[in-house]
Structure 1
Amino acid sequence: MTDSPGLSRAEAAAAKRRRLTAAAAAVLHEKGVERTSIADIAQSAGVPVGNVYYYFKTKDDLVEAALTEHTGHLDTLTARLDLLPDPRERLKGLVAAWVEQRETAARYGCPTGTLAVEIDKRPPGGLDEAAARVIRRLLDWVADQFRQLGTPDPQGHAVTLVGAYQGMSLLANALRDPEVMTREGDRLARWLDTLPDH
């Protein structure tokens, strides 16, 4: 893949960095941190391996970039859901978005969750905190929806919902059965419908 003609040097560099970041998120999700090489990410991004070090000095820098990419995806999703007028519908939309990714989850698990688990097995050094920030961001958004709904203990309900998602992703992946996500997503949507309005 070559940079688009007509881009300034700074624009071309920014585009290359974006390609590397997106490739890092995808390859690390598919192969895991330990089995992914910088060359794998470079190849996926269409960037010569030697150029990677201009943007990212270490593989850990690429892992952090992948977590930033996951944050961006989460922010895009929640911004889209925030356009819905009702917090219950936003939460059900979140569940539907999870279920839409059932094939990917069955093959590789939850992008952020699997990365967080793998990072946690390494010596502490900051990446575990970066992964936790992404998950906290999701928990905070979900808790805010429960708060707007008037649900008692919105933080606890957020942990229940996000925990259910992580569980169904793990089971779908372990069993290689995307329909686990479908069935459990339906169960979560029905549970959300039972919660009273404030």
Structure 2
Amino acid sequence: MTDSAKPRARSTDKRRRLTAAAARVLHEQGVERTTLADIAREADVPVGNVYYYFKTKDELVLAALSEHSAHLDEFTGRLEELPDPRARLKALVEAWVDQREVAARHGCPTGTLAVELDKRADGTLDTEAGTVIRRLLDWAAHQFRALGLPDPDDLALTLVSGYQGMSLLANALRDPDIMTREGARLLRWLDSLRAPGERA
């Protein structure tokens, strides 16, 4: 690596750490309670350096949403390695249930952020949060379509609504077992779906 490449690599690493830290801290504390200093501390970056990469907290929120989107793409990419669309959908639900402790403490990372951003007066960042959720809906609809099921977009909406509902209730009641029970219900529902003419 050349001398000029080293500072660039360090700069990229700091930005990446700040982005990942923003995603974690905003999920745990929410937008209003989070300061740039909180994110700098989590990223182990001097707070003065944050302004070099992100001029405002809104820019950090956008970076966090990009992190959620990248994580979703990476995760659904791994699910695509499974040979069957139903298995992919079930693995998605199982991954949600595996995160039940986090959901009980903080809710869904993107869902809680979308709700909080919607309450703000400027109303610009909430659209970005909705875009991440739309990516999940589109991916799920593609799986239902591959199964030959009618109304794949509606089925995707039912699935993602089930997740958002169970994560919200687990968070509100501080009860991770809600995720376990409702996740099992979603798995049974996925097993029950049959394309026209398909035998159980």
TM-score normalized by structure 2?
0.94
Q: Corresponding residue for 2:40?
A: 42
Whether 1:114 and 2:100 are equivalent positions in the alignment is no
Offset from partner CA, 1:112-131 (integer Å, 9 cap, x none): 00000000001244311110
Cα offset, 1:65, TM superposition: 0.4
Q: Which residue of 1 aligns with 2:146?
A: 148
Shift of 1:14: 0.3
Please list, as runs of the form range in 1=range in 2, the aligned pairs for 1:111-190 lying within 5 A after superposition.
111-190=109-188
TM-superposition CA deviations, 1:13-46 (whole Å, max 9, x none): 0000000000000000000000000000001100
Q: Structure 1 stretches of 5 or more lacking a match?
A: 1-6
**Sequence identity (%):** 70
In structure 2, give the amino acid aligned to 1:144: H
**Separation in structure 2 between the aligned mates of residue 141 and residue 179 of structure 1, nearest angstrom:** 27
Structure 1 runs (4+) greater than 6 angstroms displaced: none
2:11 counterpart of 1:26: no
Q: Deviations over 1:35-71 (max 9, x none)?
A: 0000000011001111000000000000000000101
Any idea what the Cα deviations from partners look like across 1:166-197, whole Å, max 9, x if unmatched?
A: 00000000110101001100000000000014
What root-mean-square deviation, in Å, do the aligned CA atoms of Structure 1 and Structure 2 show?
1.2
Number of residue pairs matched by the alignment: 193
User: What's the CA shift string for 1:86-105, capped at 9, x where partnerless?
Assistant: 10000000000100100000
Q: How many Å separate the matches in 1 of 2:22 and 2:181?
A: 31
Aligned-partner residue type, residue 91 of structure 1: L
In structure 2, the gaps of 5 or more residues are: none
Give distance in 1, aligned partners of 2:195 and 2:98.
27
Amino acid at match of 2:129: A
